[in-house]
């Protein structure tokens, strides 16, 4: 009993965001690395060591459902646990505690390798790996973005069987598909098997998008980017997303992919159960000083916070979630609490299995982080937690 009490500590000195609301003058109660609850600073129980943390905010670690790379490596180049360990380490240094490694449109062989890498990474306890996001290859050539046209293809029965089996084996499997490239029956069967179907890289009509939602699609990949836009007589996928009560959608808030005014419009329009959340769409550059890399044998250049193919096409993002939060708060005008939800609980709502991330859960592992008053993640403050 004495040993247990010695491991108990109360983190004080910062505001606490629990994934839903902000608490002031509160303490985070921990037993080792297990979260025991919150209480007012004045009511910390006996037996807890008081641990002062810097001013700022304690909150659940970020959840990112679209991570292509980091630390100088890209998952497409090496779909292995070793590669995932490098990516996880790079993103952990920016506050991300849970993520879906993302494979961009590639060969069937690469897809299988990516699926096989996830259980191995989880068995090896690589921090934060909670599933897989397959972004393509069943997308629309007209909205391919930086995806290789040569690798885009229709979904076959074999693909569907593979994806359904993967959904049963992984905590989370998200796939990005274009509704005009897959059938409603395929979406329905995949959804019933536990696949998180996200719509994206699509030139679909408003009606096609709604048919996909009725079949089971739950999410939209990087809203506004690589999709049919909102028009006066054809609302497209953007219009379907903003008018849907159930669709959630990721946003790349780097000040490059989407104008602040569009982000402001989206946050004002989106209501209902579907939530807007932040993604990095991060490439190999995060946590690295590399100035270029290759994607499907094409050169990607890093210039002034922008990643592009040599023809100027945007190719993922050079972004971390603290930067995205700053954009949402300072440029878009979202409240800090609303922005923090977009990096924690909101992305967790689209997952099949949160694996204990996105909010504080009593009796579960503590995955909390600290942000300073300027919404920056600092290594020194977080290593002391």
Catalytic residue among 106, 281, 318, 320: 281
Q: Is 281 annotated in the active site?
A: yes
Contact, 79 vs 114, CB < 8 A?
yes
From the list 286, 275, 214, the residue with the least C-alpha distance to 250 is 275
Q: In angstroms, what is the C-alpha Rg of the chain?
A: 21
| Strand ordering across the sheet containing 34-40 | 34-40, 26-31, 8-12, 49-52
- Alpha-carbon distance of 55 to 73, in angstroms, equals 34
By C-alpha distance, which of 179, 185, 255 is closest to 219? 179
| Structural contact between residues 356 and 129, judged by C-beta atoms closer than 8 angstroms | no
Contact between 27 and 44 (Cβ < 8 Å): yes
Residues 6+ apart with CB under 8 A from 135: 66, 68, 102, 103, 104, 105, 147, 175, 176, 200, 201, 221
Q: ∠ CA 72-296-351 to the nearest 5 degrees? A: 70
Neighbours of 353 (CB within 10 A): 13
Local structure of residue 208 (DSSP, 8 states): H
Sign of the C-alpha dihedral, residues 119, 121, 124, 125? negative
Length, in residues, of the chain? 385
Nearest to 250 by CA among 215, 282, 224: 224
* Phi, then psi, of 371 in degrees rounded to 5: -115, 140
How far is residue 122's CA from residue 143's CA, in Å, rounded to a whole number? 33
What are the Cα distances from residue 163, in Å, to 134, 246, 270?
10, 23, 30
**From CA 105, how far away is CA 96, in angstroms rounded?**
24
Residues classed as catalytic: 281
């Amino acid at each position: 009993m004495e040993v247990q009490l010695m491991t108990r500590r109360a983190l004080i000195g910062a505001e606490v965001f629990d994934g839903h609301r902000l608490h002031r003058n509160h303490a985070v109660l921990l037993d080792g690395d297990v979260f025991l609850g919150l209480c007012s600073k004045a009511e910390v129980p006996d037996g807890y060591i008081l641990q002062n943390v810097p001013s700022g905010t304690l909150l659940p670690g970020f959840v990112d459902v679209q991570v292509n790379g980091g630390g100088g490596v890209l998952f497409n180049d090496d779909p292995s646990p070793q590669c995932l360990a490098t990516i996880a380490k790079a993103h952990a240094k920016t506050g991300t505690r849970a993520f879906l490694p993302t494979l961009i449109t590639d060969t069937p062989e690469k897809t299988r390798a990516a699926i096989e890498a996830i259980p191995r990474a989880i068995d090896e306890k690589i921090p934060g790996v909670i599933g897989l996001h397959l972004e393509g290859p069943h997308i629309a050539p007209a909205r391919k973005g930086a995806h290789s046209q040569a690798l885009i293809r229709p979904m076959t029965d074999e693909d569907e069987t593979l994806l359904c089996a993967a959904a049963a084996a992984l905590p989370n499997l998200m796939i990005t598909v274009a509704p005009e490239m897959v059938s409603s029956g395929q979406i329905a069967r995949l959804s019933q098997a536990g696949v998180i179907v996200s719509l994206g890289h699509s030139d679909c009509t408003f009606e096609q998008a709604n048919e996909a939602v009725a079949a089971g699609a739950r999410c939209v990949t990087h809203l506004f980017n690589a999709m049919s836009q909102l028009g006066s007589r054809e609302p497209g996928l953007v219009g379907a997303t903003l008018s849907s009560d159930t669709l959630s959608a990721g946003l790349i808030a780097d000040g490059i992919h989407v104008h602040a005014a569009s982000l402001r419009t989206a946050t004002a329009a989106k209501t209902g159960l579907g939530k807007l959340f932040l993604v990095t769409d991060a490439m190999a550059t995060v946590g690295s000083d590399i100035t270029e890399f290759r994607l499907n044998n094409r050169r990607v250049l890093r210039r002034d916070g922008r990643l592009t193919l040599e023809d100027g096409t945007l190719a993922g993002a050079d972004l971390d979630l603290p930067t995205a939060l700053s954009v949402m708060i300072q440029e878009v005008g979202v409240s800090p609490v609303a922005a923090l939800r977009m990096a924690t609980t909101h992305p967790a709502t689209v997952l099949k299995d949160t694996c204990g991330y996105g909010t504080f859960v009593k009796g579960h592992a503590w995955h909390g982080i600290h942000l300073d008053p300027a919404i920056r993640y600092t290594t020194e403050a977080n290593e002391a937690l």
